């Protein structure tokens, strides 16, 4: 009972903090992937790119420096020595026997995005909606594996942006059930990749895992094009027509393998990152 009461207080306080923002979750939402983090070349502001697989459209979400770092760390599977703010949020929710059912980007008003964290509490049928900045909601979702949805009307008016990928090992991309990073010397040594060009899979889930992709695989080509950086992987996926297949060629243990995945593959639950067994 004490845990339930504390959780109610947490939800109430968070909701009151956003009382002046619009509330409620529209039923007309679509699932998206949190694909990558970088900078908007026009403003120099950190940006998170969400991809809607069915249409192939992307939605930029401008975020603060700290939120961008929090999202990038989670995508990379980095566990900090002490919990950061969003790690604490995830731990509090779990400790109070609740879970993040989904996070939703609900609206775009006056150049400001609005979001919602939807909580499922043990023993309750009702979903608790907590007002949130999308940046915080996304940082929480990437830690808990919660689905991400976006109001369809926002995708229809997605603003233009000039995406600049981070330098070198800071690049990370998630698409079609896989998370990929630069093949750094340490990763090459860890997974015995040699000196072949390509990008490293750090997490595989859903259809990508079902078709055989595993953590530590080296992706060398996508749709027949050589890839050396995660940004190239994302560009190729984005340029593939939604109903067309994306052909992924990778190396494992000296053997070349190829799988095909539809570009409009629905987002799968990634769960905990960096835990896929080879």
pLDDT in tens, 225-263: 999 999 999 999 999 998 899 999 999 999 999 999 999
In tens digits, what is the pLDDT along the chain, a chain of 278 residues?
A: 444 444 444 444 444 333 333 445 556 999 999 999 999 999 999 999 999 999 999 999 999 999 999 999 999 999 889 999 999 999 999 999 999 999 999 999 988 999 999 999 999 999 999 999 999 999 999 999 999 999 999 998 888 899 999 988 999 999 999 999 999 999 999 999 999 999 999 999 999 999 999 999 999 999 999 999 999 999 999 999 988 999 999 999 999 999 999 999 999 776 654 433 32
pLDDT in tens, 75-91: 999 988 999 999 999 99
Angle between helices 85-95 and 134-144 (to 10 degrees): 60
Q: Which pTM value belongs to this model? A: 0.85
Report how far residue 20's alpha carbon sits from residue 157's, in angstroms, rounded to the nearest whole number: 23
- The full set of domains in the chain, from first to last, is 2-156 (3.10.690.10), 171-262 (2.30.42.60)
**Hey, CA dihedral for 146, 35, 107, 131, is it positive or negative?**
positive
Pick the closest to residue 46 from 116, 129, 135 (CA basis): 135
């Amino acid at each position: 009972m004490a845990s339930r009461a504390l959780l109610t207080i947490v939800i109430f306080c968070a909701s009151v903090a956003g009382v002046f923002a619009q509330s409620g979750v529209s039923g007309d939402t679509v699932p998206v992937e949190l694909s990558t983090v970088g900078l908007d070349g026009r403003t120099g502001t950190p940006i998170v790119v969400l991809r809607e697989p069915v249409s192939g459209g992307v939605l930029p979400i401008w975020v603060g420096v700290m939120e961008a770092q929090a999202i990038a760390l989670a995508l990379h599977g980095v566990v900090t020595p002490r919990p950061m703010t969003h790690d604490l949020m995830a731990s509090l929710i779990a400790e109070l026997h609740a879970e993040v059912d989904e996070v939703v980007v609900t609206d775009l008003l006056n150049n400001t995005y609005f979001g919602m964290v939807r909580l499922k509490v043990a023993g309750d049928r009702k979903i608790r909606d907590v007002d949130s900045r999308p940046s915080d909601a996304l940082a929480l979702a990437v830690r808990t594996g919660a689905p991400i949805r976006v109001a369809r009307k926002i995708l229809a008016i997605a603003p233009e942006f000039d995406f600049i990928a981070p330098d070198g090992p800071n690049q990370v991309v998630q698409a079609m059930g896989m998370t990929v990073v630069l093949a750094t010397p340490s990763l090459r040594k860890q997974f015995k990749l040699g000196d072949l060009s390509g990008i490293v899979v750090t997490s595989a889930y859903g259809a990508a895992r079902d078709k055989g992709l595993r953590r530590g695989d080296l992706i060398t080509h996508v749709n027949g094009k050589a890839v050396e950086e995660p940004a190239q992987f994302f560009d190729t996926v984005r340029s593939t027509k939604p109903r067309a297949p994306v052909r992924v060629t990778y190396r494992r243990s000296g053997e070349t393998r190829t799988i095909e995945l539809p570009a409009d593959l629905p987002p799968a639950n990634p769960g905990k990152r960096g835990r896929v067994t080879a």
